A and B are shown apart, each in its own frame.
Chain A
């Protein structure tokens, strides 16, 4: 048991190091800008005093490491700076936008995982059947189209032509269906393929033969033994795919005028609202780090080979 605790400790430590790096990237990204970030923020018509005042306000006249520590300190107190575009505290903006994004990515992920596991398992069980080929092809298809284009096509078919669903905004339940399905349908491909592979791998294991040799029912062999064994590695997969789902959601938010962090990010990038960009980058990446940590810990709790030492 000690080594297992040890593993969790080391894994958490690693996550903290990654979080540190992530915050550095989010912080330093502003300094990539050619020229003075403050001047860029304020635009070409800023007066010298304005620039100086803003610099002093954001500690931009201090050495880099002091700026970084001040930034981190402020983050821990919930102070993320001010958005120049909205002239409002970034924390307020994030608070507003967080909910819709969580709904979109959360439900999208759920749909993707369920569909992916379902298609992957069926394809493995009916290997080399029509169903298997269709699964191979449909996963290839979804992975080969950009999500923003998919969103536009869905919008055109279901929103403009068939008029089943409102085309934009977050006005009603039905308006959430299209964006969620766009994410879900596209990302299920990421789970269907590994799930199929895992399932086939497990089915080729010796213990499946042994289970048959003792006369266990086919259904039990598949759903109790093979399915559960195949599912364990998929847990890590889900966390690994999270960045892709978030990335896809950003553009989908833009297409569907979804008032989440994604569309806020794009708007802020385009209007050079760097405080907002920085904060959103930090939030998204920290969420990914946390999800990966969680998945790894969950994995050790589920798999008895890791949970219980010899």
Chain B
């Protein structure tokens, strides 16, 4: 056996050892996550909502848009489990279809703000200097506005519609991702292998994509779950105020707004819509918390 073979063998062993270590870490995280009962409950809750959204036509007993003058303001019964609204539409069916809109908007917002926030966070943390200062200034500025207030103004000016809600909330929401990612990048930047990669002349882009981003990813995944509730509640707020999704589209926020007008007569409209929002948001919160604890157990122990 030549010395070259030996070093190659050693190298292979070392890689194996590192891989084992890594997979045992992944296992530990997975173990912690599944041991967390709330996270598991959250997972089930979100799965239910996703199922509802995908299979709305099957899950809902009625057409959510079909009005029926004879069936107005019917309280919850076997026929309409969550009652009917002012136009005689089945509230449960409308809420089931609403989950589609809610998840769509939520996912779009998280995608939009995530893309902006992660890129700017990576750039800001990796390059530092003036670029960092400018991006962080922008973050400071945007965070001085309450999300709902600024999004309200933006959506009001852009006009109604789903895309405008996404733009309005995304422009405000990316700052959370940027800050999180940046602080993570600052610690990763100091690692030896980043230094090594730089010394052998790897380009910045390739270092960011190959070494920095994979390390940021776990944080980002947690962020997505923790930001989804904000996106859901904020978009519901905008529709409630009449700036988001427009009637007659079945949307949780606007269903609450409609129900509010008949609160005394038909309290089930607003309340049940709220429960749907709560159920979904709670689910995401449970998962987000569980993931965070699993990835960083010290945050829970302390």
- So, do A and B actually touch in the complex, CB under 8 Å? yes
Chain A contacts to B: CB under 8 angstroms: 14, 17-18, 21-22, 24-25, 29-30, 32-34, 140-141, 143-150, 152-153, 155-156, 160, 197, 200-201, 204, 243-244, 246-248, 250-251, 254-255, 265-266, 269-270, 272, 274, 277, 280-281, 284-286, 288-289, 292
Q: For the complex, is B162 an interface residue (Cβ under 8 Å from A)? A: no
B70: A residues at CB distance < 8 A: none
For B285, what are the chain A residues with a Cβ–Cβ distance below 8 Å? 140, 143-144
**Is B264 on the interface with A (CB-CB < 8 A)?**
yes
B203-246 Cβ-contact flags toward A at 8 Å (1 or 0): 00000000000000000000000000100010011001111000
Indicate whether B141 reaches chain A with its CB closer than 8 angstroms. Answer: yes
**Distance in angstroms between the alpha carbons of A277 and B151 in the assembled complex:** 12
Partner of A156, one of B145, B146, B267: B267
B277 at interface, CB cutoff 8 A: yes
Contacts of A21 in B (CB 8 A): 137-138, 140-141
Interface contact A155-B146, CB-CB below 8 Å: no
Say whether B144 contacts A285, CB under 8 Å.
yes
Check if B152 sits within 8 Å of A146, measured CB to CB: no
B137: chain A residues within 8 A (beta carbon)? 17-18, 21
Q: Looking at chain A's contact residues, is the secondary structure mostly helix, strand, loop, or mixed? A: helix
A residues near B141, Cβ cutoff 8 Å: 18, 21-22, 24-25
Chain B hits for A248, CB < 8 A: 148
Known: A29-B157, A277-B153. A153 touches B274 (CB 8 A): yes
The listed residue with most A CB atoms (<10 A of its CB), out of B141, B146, B155, B241, is B146
Contact of A32 among B154, B256, B274 (CB under 8 A): B154
Give chain B's interface residue range (CB within 8 Å of chain A). Answer: 35 or more
- Which secondary structure dominates chain B's binding surface? helix
Q: Do the beta carbons of A149 and B256 come within 8 Å of each other? A: yes
CA distance A270 to B156 in the complex (A): 6
Q: How far is the CA of A197 from the CA of B298 in the complex (A)?
A: 11
A155 to B262, CA, bound (A): 12
9 A-B pairs whose Cβ atoms sit less than 8 Å apart in the complex: A21-B140, A25-B150, A29-B157, A146-B240, A146-B274, A149-B278, A153-B270, A247-B146, A274-B157
Residue on B with the closest CB to A17? B137
Interface centre among A149, A153, A270 (most CB of B within 10 A): A149
Q: CB-nearest residue of chain B relative to A205?
A: B302
A29 vs B274: C-alpha distance in the bound complex, in angstroms? 31
Report yes or no: A149 in contact with B282, Cβ–Cβ below 8 A.
Answer: no
Known: A29-B154, A160-B263. A250 touches B281 (CB 8 A): no
* Distance A33 CA – B274 CA, assembled complex (angstroms): 32
Give the CA-CA distance A160 to B140 in the complex, in Å. Answer: 42
B197 adjacent to chain A (CB < 8 Å):
no
The yes or no answer to B159 lying at the interface (CB within 8 A) is yes
Choose from A150, A255, A277 the contact partner of B156 (Cβ within 8 Å).
A277
